[in-house]
Amino acid sequence: MSLAVKSKIVVFVLAIVVWLALTGLGLQEIIAGVLVAAIVSLTAGHFLITTHKQKHMLHRWLYAVLYFFKFLWEMMKANLHVAYIVAHPMLPIKPGIVKIKTKLTKDAAITVLTNSITLTPGTLTVDVNEEKKEIYIHWIDVKATGIDECSKEIGARFESTLTEVFE
Amino acid sequence: MIRETIGMVFIFIGIAFDFFGVLGLVRLPDVYNRLQAATKCVTFGSAGILFGTFIIQGFNSFGFKALIGITFIFLTSPVAAHAISRAAHRARIPLAKETIVDEYEKDKELKEQTT
Amino acid sequence: MRMLRWSIGLVLIAAFGYFNFFIYDGPIYFKLINVILVSALFVLFRVIFGPSPADRIVAVDILGILIVGMLAILGLHYDQGFLMDIGLIWALLSFIASLAFAKILEGRSLDD
């Protein structure tokens, strides 16, 4: 079974499950859902799975769950930090745009890393340089300006877990 | 009954963070800082409201719609913030006067080549 | 000066909270929706008086996410699931609108 066919089958099953969870069981819903899911999976189904199955699947899923909880905790801290800054009468900010370096290579890993950086304390991704693997970050409370200190301060929290998940 | 109490607690937390985020949108000095406060707090607040809705409603179609809304907000709002900040920096919108370092302005050739 | 403005704002917000949660006699969901509507007023302030175009785009993007939460609470009050459908479609359209606005601000055309 080739990769595209497998990807289309996975998309079809996922679409059916989500549709039935949204609407409930019934003859009309099942017929309409099968039709629409077939159209969707035939036209756009080959984008979901693009690499062959790797080993250590259980290992990767465990680290993905660990990453999720770590991300939630960082996000709670981020929101309390921003609420403190906004409610403070003198607005204690010291903004600046810094540059960090990442060791991740895959596109999906870099996307997850940049999205996490945007949602965690005081940092916002501005641009990514794909050749040099550098990320430009707007930081609301700059503590260091050199590229190595910034990488250690911002990126290292997520990078170790993401390396286990994606590579 | 206990389920509704937990759900209302989540909704209260979400609305408080929504309000703080919008306050940041009004108070902070330039586009990038406003984008930071607003994106983080409003995303977390709306996700909290939707999660409280899911807890109150349970596993029916309303609750599943709320769950799908949570994943959707978490996936899309960082992407929108990234696009807006990049476009603002390329459109030469100035940073606030408190800014102490701007590495992106120094690497101008990157901006030219990927436009 | 900044301290004075902060104090005035604190007094106004406290007054709003007192009137909303203790004087106004309505369902609890409507009290919560009032808080979100006042937040939307702040966002509209940024839309109208924003000094640069990017400020207005940020405000419109944030308004879209606020409305999703408001529609969820409204659906809880009336016990109607279809309001959540409107919320999902609203979030999708506001995301696409923000991307399109950002592209125009950057100076590119839409079919790039």
The string of pLDDT tens digits covering residues C47-72 is 888 788 888 888 888 888 889 889 99
Please answer yes or no on whether B105 and A97 come within 8 Å at the CB atom. yes
The pLDDT tens digits for B41-77 are 888 889 999 999 999 988 888 888 888 889 888 888 8
State pLDDT tens for residues B85-115: 888 888 887 777 777 777 676 766 555 555 4
Quickly state the pLDDT bin for A112 (edges 50, 70, 90): confident
**End-to-end CA separation in angstroms for chain B:** 56
Name every residue whose Cβ is closer than 8 Å to that of residue B74 and which is 6 or more positions away in sequence.
A119, B43, B47
Among A74-88, B25-39, C13-27, name the most confident range. C13-27
What value of ipTM does the predicted structure carry? Answer: 0.87
Band (pLDDT 50/70/90 cuts) for residue A96 is: confident
Cα pseudo-dihedral A14, C93, C66, A93, rounded to 10:
100
DSSP state of A46: G
Domain residue spans of chain B: 2-113
> Quick check: C109 contacting B, CB < 8 Å?
no
Q: Which of residues 95-124 of A touch B (CB under 8 A)?
A: 95-99, 114-115, 118-119, 122-124
Best mutation target, B19, B40, B76, to test chain A (most A CBs within 10 A): B40
With a cut of 80, say whether residue A152 has pLDDT above it.
no
pLDDT at B109: 58
Looking at residue C14, its pLDDT comes to 92
Mean pLDDT over the full length of chain A: 81
The token pair that represents A93 in the structure block:
């900010």
Write out chain C residues lying below 8 Å of A90, CB-based: 2
pLDDT at A167: 66
| CA dist., res. A105 & res. A103, Å (int) | 6
Sign of the Cα pseudo-torsion (B77, A128, B107, A118, in order): positive
* pLDDT of A68 above 70: yes
Domain boundaries, chain C: 27-106
